[in-house]
Structure 1
Amino acid sequence: MPVDIWLHGTLTARVTLKSAGRKVVLEYTDEARSRYRGGAPILSCSLPAAHGTTAPSATRAYLEGLLPEGRALETAASRLRGVELDSAGAPAAPSDAVALLAEYGRECAGAVVVAPAESGPPSGGHPSSPLGDVELADLVRNLPTNPLGADPGREIRMSLGGAQDKLLFTRVAGNWCRPIDGYPSTHILKPTTVWPHSAENEALVLTLSRACGLSSNDVWIEQIADTSVLVTERYDRILGDDGVVHRLHQEDMCQAAGVRPKDKYLIGRPSDRMTRVLREFAASPIREALAVYRQVAFRALVGDEDGHGKNYSLVHTEGGVTAAPLYDSLCTLAYPDLSGTMGAQIGTQRSLVKVDRQALAEEARAMGIPAAAAAEAIDELIDNVRSGAADLSPTLTEGWPAERIIETILGRAQRLESGQPLGGAKPSPPRGTLDAATQRRRR
């Protein structure tokens, strides 16, 4: 089944399958080529519009990047006849990814809407009636069997990347509503996972990221179904003065570099493919490289090993791509079962406990960032993390052992300032990625 991709209400591309579903082709429409002129990417940095059709491998990576991962993808695939996943849990063939997006792609990351070909323009949808406490609790409890809160039978067709369980809701006048028929969601709700206090941990770290100027969206904790739930305002949604929710066009770094989600931990150092994308498509490559570098350094500082290619993103603007705000970050050093091996190495270091100013400076140099600017960025992060930790609200720190994480982060800041390796935990034997460890804990 071919699918159409809509961007800001414009039919932008059609995706078709060849070779019995083993090859996927994306072709931009004449209207899209006319509207998006000047060589700027339309859907993705990896899918140039200069040629008639895009590369099948990059097209597959882009489409798979719109889908969830892990248990959520397994559940969604199990409900569609003929859809298969491979041994790594990824769509077995391009036809499987296309079938999943045809069913679930009305509300995706960024501004794209995916629908069956010839089905016409997206209706725009509407929010549901406000959800009551019982409905909210049921949706949280049923997340393992109802990922994202999607329900195609009620025209709630949503798809969002990532392996952690989450719900997508629209906030209307302080109430939670379900986005129906492609209506934009405004918030992501992530219940505490198999990792104790993961919701509180992430809320604390994301609050520190705001203190560092790396993000500006609101985060808080709600108690739903006797579970702590992280609530994050979506940075790719803007509420207009007229009350209308607008989508921002964005993509993650794996999509931009043509890397499939299952290879997100293999994208390489920030100075590798991510920086090459910025050099080609950013209006100010050094400025955006510095923005990404600050996020890389922040993740190292707070003890977050999960900085893979899907945890960095780009926002598309008329002038070129810009670094998206930081998201999906928590102190993984709080969990001894994890290895402390970073999703992308910094300089010559792969271990969270061994990163130091030299490794960070080496990475900055490879990214083309002036040494003085990189050093100033590190000093500012240290100062802002300290002041942010001092200003944390009791609503974020009470009722769980927040002081352990705060002490870990502040200790790492002190060591980084003095030129020592970040430290903060005893390195453990490699045990795979955070995603793999999460799957083992669920069994």
Structure 2
Amino acid sequence: MTTLDVFLEGVEDPIGELLKLDSGSLRFRYVRDDPPHPISLSMPVREEPYDDVAARAFFDNLLFENIQREQVMQRHRLEFGDTVGLLRYLGKDCPGAISVVPQGDGPAKVPGQFATDYDVIENLDQIMISLRDTRRLPLETSDPSPLAGVQGKIALTRLPDGRFALPKPGLNVPTTHILKVPRRQDMRQVEHEHLLMEIMGDVQNHPVAQTSIFGEGDLQALLIKRFDRVIDGHSVRRLHQEDFCQALGLGPTLKYQRAGDGEDTFSAKRVGQLLDKLGAPAGARQAFLEGTLVNLLLGNTDNHAKNHALLYYGPRPELAPFYDVVPTILDGSVLHQLSFDIGSACMTDDITPEDLITFVEALGYRRMIPALKKRLGAITANIVGRIPDMRGPARKRIGDAIAEQAQWVAAALELDLDIPERDLVVIVRP
């Protein structure tokens, strides 16, 4: 049997243990009954251990499929499904404030002090070029916080004077920002995502991740401020977060509704049940509904369970800011099926007024009252009103995506809107 300690930053002793039994199955158990909060809504604090299904669903989602995981698998001859074996080497820097380390090693994560714990980056241009051209960091640059995704990324820290820095070697202190650098041919993705994040923030009331464009020409990046950090004067600490796959007890391969079966799926009903457990369920429900509508209108059909998260400021979590709002409908190489059904519809152009009502009720509303429908209509009209301004090499395609999506959303809301005619977007169907 192999045992790993599970820590939360700021708590000196382990709050739990992850065990791999001789049979290969996993168990997780809390070793104290007074942690500041559970590690997941899917695993409330209790004395009885959690079985393989529950433990694997949460901890598998901590393991990104990136180059570091591949290197660890090859170096230590580990199988892809050896969760405990992989976390033994990769668990020091899991997402959020959690860490999973060999038994007896002590806490892996500590708060950072800007004045003493970071080295200023002197070669940021070279790092960006390497990420753009190879999707990897230069050999001499260590990765302080490996990240998921297909784009080249690096986690870094912005110091109070504006300079960028990395944690000093051997210190597992927090980073504050993520820098995403696309390939040269995909450089417009930077402006697209930044624009969509701005629109998302403008038209609904829930917070969004703060973004800015860094660089110019054929060397640009999207700079994203991490929302799971708390800066207090000259120090920074992590907040625990979990994505919706973890909170719903779903493995990482079940991030789309179409991948699940029965109750084990990312569906509106399951999301509604999850939102009921939050610190402010009514506000979270309204935010999720409006965020879903805006994602649809902006052409983001890849709004899956790992692109939603919860933040733990206290015992009951809150809905995290929205992030990863990208116009996937412009990508003709991916499926444009919705990440979760709207009523019985799995494509935007299939949504009917009845589907919207069913979706709203599945999220936990008693019914679609006139005021709620009016609010959704106002958001739709606001976004449609931006289409004429979407011109030029980078923004025209965004206008095309909005025009394509808005015609179906407006019909489902029974709105009479003057939607400008734009070039049609090619829809990729199942």
Residue 276 (structure 1) aligns with: 273
CA displacement at 1:331 relative to structure 2: 0.9
Residues 133 and 163 (structure 1), Cα distance of their counterparts in 2 relative to 1, 3 Å cut: closer
Alpha-carbon separation, structure 2, partners of 1:226 and 1:145:
17
- Total equivalences in the alignment: 402
Alpha-carbon separation, structure 1, partners of 2:304 and 2:140:
26
AA at the equivalent of 2:77: G
- In terms of Rg, which structure is larger? 2
AA at the equivalent of 2:98: V
Please say if residues 271 and 363 of structure 2, whose CA atoms lie closer than 8 Å, have aligned partners that are also in contact: no
Q: Which residue of 195, 202, 209 maps to 2:193?
A: 202
Residue 231 (structure 1) aligns with: 223
Alpha-carbon separation, structure 2, partners of 1:123 and 1:207:
32
CA displacement at 1:321 relative to structure 2: 2.4
Alpha-carbon separation, structure 2, partners of 1:277 and 1:224:
42
Q: Does 1:131 align with 2:117?
A: no
Residues 203 and 50 (structure 1), Cα distance of their counterparts in 2 relative to 1, 3 Å cut: same
For residues 93-117 of structure 1, what are the alpha-carbon distances to aligned partners after superposition, in whole Å with 9 as ceiling and x for unaligned? xxx2223333233333222123222
Alpha-carbon separation, structure 1, partners of 2:60 and 2:219:
31
Bigger drift between 130-139 and 9-18 goes to 130-139
Alpha-carbon separation, structure 2, partners of 1:112 and 1:269:
24
CA displacement at 1:288 relative to structure 2: 1.9
Residue 17 (structure 2) aligns with: 14
For residues 329-388 of structure 1, what are the alpha-carbon distances to aligned partners after superposition, in whole Å with 9 as ceiling and x for unaligned? 211121233332111111111113333554333201111224235424413422553577
Alpha-carbon separation, structure 1, partners of 2:352 and 2:278:
28
Matches within 5 A, 1:354-373: 354-369=350-365, 370-372=367-369
- Secondary structure class of the residue paired with 1:404: helix
Please report the TM-score for the alignment, with normalisation by the length of structure 2: 0.82
Residue 81 (structure 1) aligns with: 76
Residue 6 (structure 2) aligns with: 5
Residue 331 (structure 2) aligns with: 335
Please say if residues 182 and 221 of structure 2, whose CA atoms lie closer than 8 Å, have aligned partners that are also in contact: yes
For residues 252-299 of structure 1, what are the alpha-carbon distances to aligned partners after superposition, in whole Å with 9 as ceiling and x for unaligned? 0100111111221135454222222223x2234333222222222221
CA displacement at 1:118 relative to structure 2: 0.8
Residues 107 and 336 (structure 1), Cα distance of their counterparts in 2 relative to 1, 3 Å cut: same
Alpha-carbon separation, structure 1, partners of 2:61 and 2:181:
22
- Secondary structure class of the residue paired with 1:425: coil
Q: Does 1:402 align with 2:395?
A: yes
Percent identity, aligned pairs only? Answer: 24
Matches within 5 A, 1:209-224: 209-212=200-203, 213-223=205-215
Residue 425 (structure 1) aligns with: 425
Bigger drift between 267-276 and 54-63 goes to 267-276
Residue 243 (structure 2) aligns with: 252
Residue 46 (structure 2) aligns with: 50
Residue 110 (structure 1) aligns with: 96
CA displacement at 1:306 relative to structure 2: 0.6
Alpha-carbon separation, structure 1, partners of 2:315 and 2:79:
40
Please report the TM-score for the alignment, with normalisation by the length of structure 1: 0.79
Matches within 5 A, 1:340-355: 340-355=336-351
- Secondary structure class of the residue paired with 1:98: helix
Residues 207 and 298 (structure 1), Cα distance of their counterparts in 2 relative to 1, 3 Å cut: same
Residues 429 and 271 (structure 1), Cα distance of their counterparts in 2 relative to 1, 3 Å cut: closer
Residue 254 (structure 2) aligns with: 263
Please say if residues 135 and 153 of structure 2, whose CA atoms lie closer than 8 Å, have aligned partners that are also in contact: no
Residues 224 and 143 (structure 1), Cα distance of their counterparts in 2 relative to 1, 3 Å cut: farther
Alpha-carbon separation, structure 1, partners of 2:9 and 2:192:
35
Q: Does 1:26 align with 2:21?
A: no
- Secondary structure class of the residue paired with 2:279: coil
Please say if residues 347 and 360 of structure 1, whose CA atoms lie closer than 8 Å, have aligned partners that are also in contact: yes
- Secondary structure class of the residue paired with 2:34: helix
Please say if residues 211 and 388 of structure 1, whose CA atoms lie closer than 8 Å, have aligned partners that are also in contact: no
CA displacement at 1:308 relative to structure 2: 1.3
Q: Which residue of 154, 166, 179 maps to 1:167?
A: 154
Please say if residues 17 and 31 of structure 2, whose CA atoms lie closer than 8 Å, have aligned partners that are also in contact: yes
AA at the equivalent of 2:297: L
Please say if residues 300 and 326 of structure 2, whose CA atoms lie closer than 8 Å, have aligned partners that are also in contact: yes
Q: Which residue of 298, 303, 319 maps to 2:299?
A: 303
- Cα RMSD after superposing both structures: 3.2
Alpha-carbon separation, structure 2, partners of 1:339 and 1:426:
11
AA at the equivalent of 2:342: I
AA at the equivalent of 1:379: G
Q: Which residue of 373, 376, 391 maps to 1:375?
A: 373
- Secondary structure class of the residue paired with 2:349: coil
Residue 175 (structure 2) aligns with: 185
Alpha-carbon separation, structure 2, partners of 1:425 and 1:407:
7
Please say if residues 285 and 363 of structure 2, whose CA atoms lie closer than 8 Å, have aligned partners that are also in contact: yes
Matches within 5 A, 1:149-168: 156-168=143-155
Residue 88 (structure 1) aligns with: none
AA at the equivalent of 1:210: G
Bigger drift between 162-171 and 303-312 goes to 162-171
CA displacement at 1:12 relative to structure 2: 1.5
For residues 97-142 of structure 1, what are the alpha-carbon distances to aligned partners after superposition, in whole Å with 9 as ceiling and x for unaligned? 2233332333332221232221123363632233323442355257
